[in-house]
Amino acid sequence: MKKLLLAASIMALTACSAPTEPQLNINPEPVLASQPVVKGKALAVDSRDLRPAQFVAVVDNGEKSVQPLHAKQNLRLVMQDALTRQFGAQGYTIDNQSQSKLRLDILEAMVNVKDGMMSHDLSSKLQIQLVVESPKGKFVKRYSGKSARSGAMSASVEKMEEAMNNLIGAVLKDIYADPELNTYLQENL
């Protein structure tokens, strides 16, 4: 009995010291306007993560081994924060009690990695949907982006982070510069 208890204790300690899977640091840069473009318009911002899987990268090393990688932070909250900062810099007052609501739906956010000993291929996809509801109506629009790059040697976690952060940043720029969205917000809030 003592030997069994000792073996179980050793296995438990070994499991605690086993290396953890790497995680990606997702920290996109929102577009911050130098001058506010609106005044006195309040907006509540919310978000939903509608992805079927919660990991942000999949690494396939070709040996029938596929490794999913998660983000260090909650992707939904990171993207909601970036969007809130972006709209705040445009002059919108972010107020959870506002009758006008903007919801961010994350539909897809993934970096697919084909990893070999001498080279790697990164393929990133992002698809989100913005839903604006105000007393005057509803606006729904999807934004998406894709990127692909190749490199020498094995793909690092930093390269995967850079791919996803750059892609989210590009989609945030599209949102910032979207005349249809900006016109709707200015006329209907």
For the chain, give every domain's residue range.
Answer: 2-188
Region class of 91: left (phi > 0), else alpha (psi between -120 and 50), else beta? left
Output the CATH code of domain 2-188. Answer: 3.30.160
Place of tokens 């309040």: 42
Q: How many CB atoms lie within 10 A of CB 32?
A: 11
Mean pLDDT check: name the lowest of 61-70, 133-142, 147-156. Answer: 61-70
pLDDT at residue 47 tops 80: yes
Express each pLDDT in 16-25 by its tens digit: 544 467 899 9
182: buried, middle or exposed (CB in 10 Å: 19+, 13-18, 0-12)? Answer: middle
pTM of the model: 0.85
Express each pLDDT in 58-80 by its tens digit: 998 877 788 999 999 999 999 99
